[in-house]
Amino acid sequence: MKNVRTLIVIAMLVGFYANVSAQKVTLDYYFNHEVHKTSSGQIERFHYLWTEKANSGFSIFGDAFKKAGATLDTLGTAPTIANLKGAAIYIIVDPDTKKESPNPNYIQQKDIKEIAAWVKSGGVLLMMANDSANVELPHFNNLAAKFGMHFNDDLQNHVIDDKHFEDGAIITTGNPVFKTAGKIFMKDACSIALNGPAKSALKNSGGAVIIAVAKYGKGTVFAVGDPWLYDEYTNGRLPATFENDKAANDLVGWLVGAVPPVK
């Protein structure tokens, strides 16, 4: 009997790790598609790229997913049930305004229908906004509304310069999402209004909701008012009291854990 129980435990562990290693994390490259000119005059993509190691990149965030056993992918076209098939986690970060792209791809009703269906079937959606001067909120909010959330047109945790890092501080000790990080830095974020299934997952010192979570069908939506885990704030540049590097690993662990197990 003891051997049987041991085999069952081993089988469960094998199933768990197979599920983690099979998870694909897809980062949107369609709604956010910023470009700039290089010193040689070439046009290139930048901002929140898995492969981008500059301050504006997501390379450290991506590495956290890889350490968790997941694989990284990108989606450069409008999301559909078909092209999201196989993705466990889908990340939309900072959709473009006309200031950032001459022809931005706004989130349309057909996109919302496809994304919502994917989440309902068990997908985990990470929505990362920004302050309203730097993100296209109206269409992003049409998607957020599907899950009981609304990114507000406000400015939370405003930080003037590097001498005022504490203005962007949020204590996360005891938070169920951030199990190892006790203090994070998030500057110039928007707050989130909630209704229906959406619940607060983190508030700032002023009581504004900065992170929200909602269950939707078999899936989960995690929304945050800033794309705060880009390399500039996870690469050791912050004062040592801030733990954004730990927070990146904590968030990845939470997102991976929210994916329904493979049956």
Q: What is the DSSP string of 98-155?
A: TTT-SS--PPPHHHHHHHHHHHHTT-EEEEE---GGGS-HHHHHHHHHTTTEEE-S--
* pLDDT digit string, tens, across residues 70-92: 999 999 999 999 999 999 999 99
CB distance 51 to 57 below 8 Å? yes
Three-state DSSP class for 15?
helix
2-258 placed in CATH 3.40.50.880: yes
Give the whole-number percent of the chain exceeding pLDDT 90.
81
* pLDDT digit string, tens, across residues 128-173: 999 988 899 999 999 999 999 999 999 999 999 999 999 999 999 9
Domain ranges across the chain = 2-258
Residues 189/193/198/200 CA torsion (nearest 10 deg):
60
Q: What pLDDT score was predicted for residue 22?
A: 58
- The whole-chain average pLDDT of the chain stands at 91
Q: What pLDDT score was predicted for residue 17?
A: 40
Give the whole-number percent of the chain exceeding pLDDT 70.
91
The structure's pTM equals 0.90
